[in-house]
């Protein structure tokens, strides 16, 4: 058996399909974020602006968090040295779980080493421990949700993205006494769409289903204290399980779920991906806790973030750069064809110093290739102008723009302001 050849053949297949992933070395600078350096193909150091970081609020560069991380690391060391059950639980872990539970208005929270692991472990554990449980999952759900549902042999029913009529049709097919779980995201990261949470809650009540929401791209940003879309919609107590990350808007590392104390105890006791892994470093927990408190206290950062998103969209519009209208902070510029999308991204980086990741299949369906623009609270008007003009230049000529009356994007900014 020629093992190396087996691996090489599969890698070559990815390259032939155009889905092989090449990593750009983004040498991040806490001081100059979103500016970073990278080495070009000739080995020369170049500057570029990062337009695809999920460090939405720029908090990973915040001095008070860096200090807290250093302080806690000096006190507790770099790693926890154990699973939660075997010497890996510190006061920092417990304090962070308390903060997360309160933030999401739940009785408890449980830390994981990432939201991916939190999704896989929680969904798998629920499925394995409740074999009759039927999953109802939005077709656009994240890979970690799909993986979690696949990892158990439970029945699953996939509904079209945000399609409440189909969800209801599927719910009707399952006997009333059979346990059910509706799984969805609040903000969908690859389309920028937002789930109709109120309609989902109504269906869950009608058909006696549990609800599970991934708020990974919403925590830190939406709602009066930044707890997410559920807080913004004032429905925190109506959803059973919330999943979130500490690695995006919070700017640190890790993931979690928040739920009733019995459900948290259930996952803590049966979830293999929770039990059999070293816990988060205590200093990471300390920094994440400080970050959440800062987000709760200082609304200004979130205001700045949404106002940058609105300004970005206005600049794109004024420069004739077509983008999808959606109610979230994720700006999607459709670019038909994987090759064209990749080539545009290459030219933006090499000619304009703009780093935008091309999004192709299998991350999005074929035909929905796009450039996905993430504007953070740290982007400046000059960065936004430069991006809009560069896109105009590159897309000009063979790219159709739809010049309707310029719509108001105050919605995204106001989501935050309206909660005063
Ligand atoms: C919707 C969604 N859920 C979960 C995750 C996983 O989050 P983490 O990076 O904390 O593992 C991601 C990561 O990008 C995501 O986009």
Chain segment 327-370, per-residue pLDDT in tens: 999 999 999 888 899 999 999 999 999 999 889 888 888 888 99
Q: Which mutation among 100, 116, 140, 244 tests ligand 1's pocket best, with the greatest number of atoms within 8 A of CB?
A: 116
DSSP letters spanning 141-154: --HHHHHHHHTS--
pLDDT of residue 418: 24
pLDDT tier, 87 (very low <50, low <70, confident <90, very high otherwise): very high
- pLDDT over 50 (residue 194): yes
Q: Is 376 exposed, middle or buried (0-12, 13-18, 19+ CB in 10 A)?
A: buried
Q: Is 131 exposed, middle or buried (0-12, 13-18, 19+ CB in 10 A)?
A: exposed
Classify residue 36 by its DSSP letter.
E
The pLDDT mean for the chain works out to: 93
Domain 62-297 has CATH 3.40.640.10: yes
Angle of CA points 254, 153, 270, to nearest 5°: 45
What residue spans in the chain does CATH classification 3.40.640.10 cover? 62-297
- Lookup result for tokens 């759900």: 141
State both tokens at 290: 């400080």
* Closest atom, ligand 1, to C-alpha of 142: 1
pLDDT of residue 209: 98
pLDDT of residue 168: 98
- What is the Cα–Cα distance from 212 to 201, expressed in whole angstroms? 10
CATH code of 26-55+299-417, in short, is 3.90.1150.10
3-class DSSP state of 71: helix
pLDDT of residue 406: 33
- End-to-end CA distance of the chain: give it in Å, rounded: 66
Signed CA dihedral, 123, 105, 220, 84: sign only? negative
pLDDT of residue 397: 55
- pLDDT over 90 (residue 101): yes
What residue spans in the chain does CATH classification 3.90.1150.10 cover? 26-55+299-417
CA-based diameter of the chain, in Å? 66
Nearest protein Cα to ligand 1, atom 7: 115
Catalytic residue numbers read 248
Q: Identify the residues whose C-beta falls under 6 Å from ligand 1.
A: 114-116, 119, 142, 144, 185, 189, 214, 216-217, 245, 247, 255
- What is the Cα–Cα distance from 292 to 171, expressed in whole angstroms? 37
How far apart are the CA of 254 and the centre of ligand 1, in A?
Answer: 10
- pLDDT over 80 (residue 138): yes
CB 250, CB 65: distance < 8 Å: no
Q: Taking residues 10-17, report their average pLDDT.
A: 92
- pLDDT over 80 (residue 420): no
């Amino acid at each position: 058996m020629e093992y190396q050849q087996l691996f090489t053949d599969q890698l070559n297949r990815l390259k032939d399909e155009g889905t092989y992933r090449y990593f750009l070395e983004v040498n991040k600078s806490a001081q100059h974020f979103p500016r970073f350096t990278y080495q070009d193909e000739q080995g020369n150091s170049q500057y570029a602006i990062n337009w695809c970081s999920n460090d939405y609020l720029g908090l990973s560069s915040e001095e008070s968090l860096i200090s807290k991380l250093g302080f806690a690391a000096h006190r507790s060391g770099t790693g926890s040295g154990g699973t939660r059950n075997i010497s890996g639980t510190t006061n920092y872990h417990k304090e962070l779980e308390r903060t997360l539970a309160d933030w999401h208005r739940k009785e408890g929270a449980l830390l994981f080493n990432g939201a991916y692991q939190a999704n896989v472990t929680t969904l798998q554990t629920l499925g394995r421990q409740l074999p009759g449980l039927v999953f109802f999952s939005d077709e656009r759900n994240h890979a970690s949700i799909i993986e979690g549902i696949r990892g158990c042999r439970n029945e699953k029913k996939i509904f079209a993205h945000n399609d409440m009529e189909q969800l209801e049709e599927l719910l009707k097919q399952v006997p009333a006494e059979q346990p059910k779980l509706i799984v969805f995201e609040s903000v969908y990261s690859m389309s920028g769409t937002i789930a109709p949470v109120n309609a989902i809650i109504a269906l869950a009540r009608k058909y006696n289903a549990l609800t599970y929401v991934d708020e990974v791209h919403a925590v830190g940003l939406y709602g009066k204290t930044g707890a997410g879309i559920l807080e913004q919609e004032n429905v925190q107590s109506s959803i059973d399980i919330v999943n979130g990350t500490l690695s995006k808007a919070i700017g640190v590392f890790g993931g979690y779920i928040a739920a009733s104390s019995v459900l948290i105890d259930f996952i803590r006791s049966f979830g293999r991906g929770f039990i059999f892994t070293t816990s988060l470093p205590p200093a990471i927990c300390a920094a994440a806790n400080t970050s959440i408190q800062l987000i709760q206290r200082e609304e200004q950062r979130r205001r700045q973030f949404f106002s940058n998103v609105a300004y970005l969209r206005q600049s794109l519009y004024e420069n004739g750069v077509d983008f999808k209208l959606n109610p979230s902070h994720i700006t999607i510029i459709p670019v038909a064809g994987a090759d064209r999308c990749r080539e545009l991204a290459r030219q933006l980086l090499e000619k304009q110093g703009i780093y935008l990741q091309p999004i192709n299949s299998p991350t999005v369906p074929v035909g929905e290739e796009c450039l996905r623009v993430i504007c953070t609270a740290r982007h400046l008007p000059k960065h936004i102008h430069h991006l809009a003009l560069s896109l105009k230049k590159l897309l000009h000529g063979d790219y159709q723009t739809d010049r309707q009356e310029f719509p108001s994007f105050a919605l995204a900014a106001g989501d935050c302001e309206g909660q005063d």
